[in-house]
């Protein structure tokens, strides 16, 4: 009789401890995100000195500029696929013009922000988590603290801004290539009239589509920057923790971006 009671008590204790640990970690993460936003505000209001601008420019170059070609390839391929497959299928049922709202829905509202986010997670999310993890292990963070340089203000805020701004720009770029660039690709396979294509596209594109896309890219950028840097800082002492935290940063970023995407889409339809 005693054994099941003991096991139940042990299970409840485990559950309680895990809950407390999870709640504590969540509170810590919330505090971290709050601190980033507070310091970002100071950075933008020029309350903080300009010593983080170099990091901001470097982050923009790495996250934004260097990812342009990957985004171009993905968006061109995706746009061309939708036009070629969609048109041939929809024409058969007499709904050829439906390809435009489908293009907008897939590229502008859904996959544009999401695929851009995935590219940024894979490139910059891992890089940031790894770099910060290494900085912790090699005591670089402690060196900043020793001089009174706040690591969040100096290292994280410029990265947060760099990733978020890059994410918004890359999403626009994805849309331009996906919607217009794919038209050029299609010309080699199934010629279309440029005027007809652009007019139809613009007639279906609403401000709400553009707003939804921009909002998603902004939120995804913030999520990726916060998650990657958070897990970078979670490295404590050992270099073996760096890849573990980088994996966590990537997987959590994916999950959070997908959840945020679902939530925004839900709000959009409500």
Partner 1 sequence: MTYSTEIQNVRIVRNGHALLDNVSAGLEEGKCTVLMGTSGSGTSCFMKTAAGIMAPDTGRVLAWNQDIELMSAQQQFVFREKMGFVFQDAALWANMTGFQNIALPFQFHRRGMPQEKIAARIAEIAGEFDFTGNLDRRPVDFSTGEQKIISYMRAMILEPRILFLDDPTGAIDNIFEKRVLDILVKRKDQGCTLVVNTHNPTYTLRLADTIIVMKAGKIMEQGPASQVRASSDPYVRGVLSDALCLP
Binding site for partner 1 (CB under 8 A): 49, 51, 131, 134-135, 138-140, 142-149
Q: CB of 12: closest distance to partner 1 in angstroms?
A: 22
Q: How many CB atoms lie within 10 A of CB 221?
A: 29
Taking the least distance from each CB to partner 1, the nearer of 138 and 203 is 138
Taking the least distance from each CB to partner 1, the nearer of 110 and 140 is 140
Taking the least distance from each CB to partner 1, the nearer of 17 and 196 is 17
Q: CB of 16: closest distance to partner 1 in angstroms?
A: 19
Helix then strand then coil, % of the chain, to nearest 5? 90, 0, 10
Helices (H) and strands (E) in the chain, counts: 13, 0
CA–CA gap between residue 175 and residue 185 (Å, rounded): 15
Q: How many CB atoms lie within 10 A of CB 13?
A: 10
Q: CB of 32: closest distance to partner 1 in angstroms?
A: 16
Taking the least distance from each CB to partner 1, the nearer of 27 and 143 is 143
Q: CB of 226: closest distance to partner 1 in angstroms?
A: 21
Q: CB of 251: closest distance to partner 1 in angstroms?
A: 24
In sequence order, which residues have a C-beta less than 8 Å from that of residue 117 and are 6 or more positions away? 167, 217, 220, 221, 223, 224, 253, 257
CA–CA gap between residue 244 and residue 142 (Å, rounded): 22
Residue 82's nearest CA partner among 69, 97, 99 is 99
Taking the least distance from each CB to partner 1, the nearer of 31 and 49 is 49
In sequence order, which residues have a C-beta less than 8 Å from that of residue 110 and are 6 or more positions away? 261, 265
């Amino acid at each position: 009789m005693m054994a099941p009671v003991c096991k139940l008590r042990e299970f409840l204790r485990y559950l309680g401890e895990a809950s407390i640990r999870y709640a504590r970690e969540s509170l810590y993460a919330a505090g971290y995100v709050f601190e980033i936003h507070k310091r970002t505000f100071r950075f933008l209001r020029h309350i903080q000195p300009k010593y983080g601008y170099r990091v901001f420019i470097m982050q923009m170059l790495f996250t934004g500029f260097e990812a342009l070609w990957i985004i171009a390839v993905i968006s061109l391929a995706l746009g061309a696929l939708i036009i070629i497959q969609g048109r041939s299928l929809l024409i058969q049922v007499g709904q050829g013009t439906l390809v435009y709202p489908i293009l907008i829905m897939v590229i502008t509202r859904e996959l544009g922000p999401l695929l851009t986010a995935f590219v940024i997670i894979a490139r910059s999310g891992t890089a940031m988590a790894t770099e910060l993890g290494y900085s912790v292990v090699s005591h670089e963070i402690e060196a900043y603290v020793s001089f009174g340089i706040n690591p969040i203000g100096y290292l994280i805020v410029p990265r947060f801004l760099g990733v978020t701004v890059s994410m918004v720009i890359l999403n626009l770029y994805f849309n331009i290539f996906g919607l217009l660039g794919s038209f050029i690709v299609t010309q080699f396979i199934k010629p279309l009239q440029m005027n007809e294509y652009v007019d139809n596209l613009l007639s279906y594109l609403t401000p709400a589509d553009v707003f939804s896309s921009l909002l998603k890219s902004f939120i995804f950028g913030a999520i990726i920057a916060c998650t990657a840097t958070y897990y970078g800082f979670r490295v404590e002492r050992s270099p073996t923790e760096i890849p573990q935290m980088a994996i966590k940063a990537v997987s959590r970023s994916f999950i959070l971006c997908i959840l945020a995407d679902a939530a925004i889409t839900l709000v959009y339809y409500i």
